[in-house]
Structure 1
Amino acid sequence: MIDAHIHVVPPNLPGVGSLAPTLKLPPDAVAAAVAAEMRAAGVEQAFAMGEWSAPPDDPLGIEKTLKIAALVPGLKPIGVADPVKGADPDHLRRVEAELARGRVVALKGYLGYLHYEPAHTNYRRYYELAARYKIPVVFHAGDTYSPYAKLKYAHPLGIDEVAVDHPETRFVIAHAGNPWLADAAQVVYKNMNVWADLSGLVVGDASVFASDEYRDTLADLAANLRRAFRYAERPNRFVFGTDWPLIPIAPYRQFIASVIPSEYHPEVFADNARVLFRAMSS
């Protein structure tokens, strides 16, 4: 099984804290925690987001993630595509040099948190580099964790525009665009170069799934996700992810498994991610 969306370092985004106390721990403690979660859930590979606004010698914000990944078999980093620096030729040269080293499985754009639409010119070079180095671009989409975020930039329909303009680039709508699941499904249905990950649809600890307080919310979410999955008509374009440590991996896996029809489990929980992240799927 592959978890295509976790965090092992704080994202360092405007208005966002560490996400969870675990990410404030020393690297070896974080590594032990995520490795235990992966083992308990049967996860063989996990892809972890980098940090925004890292120093110039860390153009993709992955150095802290790499230190943890060195201690966790199967853990690989996703670099940050930063539109704030996307017009700086020196930064872009450092980005390309890092991509040439082959250490990242994808790039991540933080829509909403950063006030740039996907079609902004400062993202364009990242799309070109992603296509050249055969890695996808993952976009945060939907609800945010920051009062400073602007939701109009985080709507999944914005990804349709760049999917059309950059057909050689593979794009991922993180969190399936929640709460705009139907809109995200339409973008996946229309564009053969767009995927959706199923991370972060539920946040909390394992007790959330047994709580009477959240029963109706979970039922609504499950119904909306089933509807979106059917509407997209592309079971080969959805990948499992959790957003750990915002939710424990094993119980979240069980929730997603209860929503997605069982005949599609091999694709959603592993096969689709192997195709999508083909540059580093071994």
Structure 2
Amino acid sequence: MTATGMDVDRLVAIDVHTHAEISADGRSSLSPVLLEASARYFKAAHRQPTIAETAGIYRERNMAAVIFTVDAEHATGHPRISNEEVAASCAEHADVLIPFASVDPWKGRAAVREARRLVAEHSVRGFKFHPSLQDFSPDDRMAYPLYEAIEELGVPALFHSGQTGIGAGVPGGGGIRLKHSNPMLVDDVAVDFPHLRIVLAHPSFPWQDEALAVATHKPFVHIDLSGWSPKYFPPQLVRYANTLLQDKVLFGSDHPVITPDRWLADFAKLDISDEVRPKILKHNAARLLGLVQEDA
């Protein structure tokens, strides 16, 4: 049992990538246009569960989940869901939910202050960045004071990488620039903040090989497998997950756009060794998130 009340031994899996998409007062994390585009991209009716409903889904399955929203107010003008609300809801469901925060790097010193406060006062366990939606390049020095704070706080930074369903099919992509989510841009971050634990989210189409190169070269860079059904994973991703990166690849679903049930059913059909499978589903995440000792 961890200090947060989470019984890691009981868990069958830890999903490191789920979204809080609706606030307690019913406000969406995305504008209607971007939300509809995401639903079309994933070919699914886009139901937005509350954080409490998400907790129930994972509790029923003996799984835990990292959950976050995205603060992209500078680029989109759309108000974010409060990080404090996400953290408070996770505290109510601490047996299954792990709070990450999202702070828009364009907020400068205010972003740094907020990040420090969220960890110190709200037990936030990591930070989510979506460079394309937030309209910044990860290697932009504008964001470096925020990375420095996150590195000092000792929590992970998770970066969306590759194409995004947000804005897909909207004229001009809704103003979202895919180039910001090339994982090679995160390589500079890994160099300049060598102890920052980084997660490259998703199979990084069309830059899968770049993501594998960065994760292989930089010791604290990980890859999560969210946002795609495993049956569509590129073969080189499966090969590296099964071998060189077996200790650095993480289960992520992208719930609610992909359910953990669908993801796990398709993952069960992949040619992953019996030794590696539990690492991807649980043990790598437990170590990264500090739920177990590093040498466990």
Q: TM-score, normalised by structure 1?
A: 0.79
AA aligned opposite 1:17: L
In the other structure, the counterpart of 2:35 is 17
Figure out how many residues of one structure are paired with residues of the other and give that number: 255
Structure 1: how far apart are the matches of 2:292 and 2:35? 31
In the other structure, the counterpart of 1:135 is 155
Deviations 1:150-180 (CA, angstroms, capped at 9, x unpaired): 1111111111111111101111100132342
AA aligned opposite 2:34: V
Q: How much has 1:114 moved relative to structure 2?
A: 2.1
Secondary structure of 2:66's aligned partner: strand
The answer to whether the 8 A contact 1:37-1:250 is kept is: no
In the other structure, the counterpart of 2:113 is 93
Secondary structure of 1:236's aligned partner: coil
1:105 maps onto 2:125 in alignment: yes
Structure 1: how far apart are the matches of 2:122 and 2:151? 13
For residue 174 of structure 1, the aligned residue among 182, 201, 210 is: 201
Q: 1:243 to 1:219 in 2, by over 3 A?
A: closer
Secondary structure of 1:235's aligned partner: coil
AA aligned opposite 2:245: R
In the other structure, the counterpart of 2:138 is 118
Q: 1:6 to 1:219 in 2, by over 3 A?
A: closer
For residue 280 of structure 2, the aligned residue among 264, 268, 280 is: 268
Q: 1:64 to 1:98 in 2, by over 3 A?
A: closer
Correspondences of 1:100-249 after superposition (within 5 Å)? 100-101=120-121, 103-144=123-164, 145-146=166-167, 147=173, 148-202=175-229, 219-221=231-233, 223-229=235-241, 233-249=244-260
Correspondences of 1:40-55 after superposition (within 5 Å)? 40-43=60-63, 45-53=64-72
In the other structure, the counterpart of 2:5 is none
AA aligned opposite 1:49: F
Structure 1: how far apart are the matches of 2:84 and 2:224? 24
Secondary structure of 1:124's aligned partner: helix
Correspondences of 1:38-77 after superposition (within 5 Å)? 38-43=58-63, 45-53=64-72, 61-72=82-93, 73-77=95-99
Identity %: 26
Secondary structure of 2:131's aligned partner: coil
AA aligned opposite 2:29: N
Secondary structure of 1:131's aligned partner: helix
- What root-mean-square deviation, in Å, do the aligned CA atoms of Structure 1 and Structure 2 show? 2.8
Structure 2: how far apart are the matches of 1:60 and 1:135? 21
The answer to whether the 8 A contact 1:176-1:199 is kept is: yes
The answer to whether the 8 A contact 2:125-2:156 is kept is: yes
AA aligned opposite 2:47: T
The answer to whether the 8 A contact 2:212-2:237 is kept is: no
Deviations 1:235-277 (CA, angstroms, capped at 9, x unpaired): 1011111010011112211322332332201211111111211
AA aligned opposite 2:155: I
Structure 2: how far apart are the matches of 1:281 and 1:113? 33
Structure 2: how far apart are the matches of 1:281 and 1:61? 28
The unaligned stretches of length 5 or more in structure 2 are 1-12, 23-27, 39-44, 74-78, 168-172
Deviations 1:93-142 (CA, angstroms, capped at 9, x unpaired): 23322222252111111111122111112211121111111101100011
The answer to whether the 8 A contact 1:109-1:139 is kept is: yes
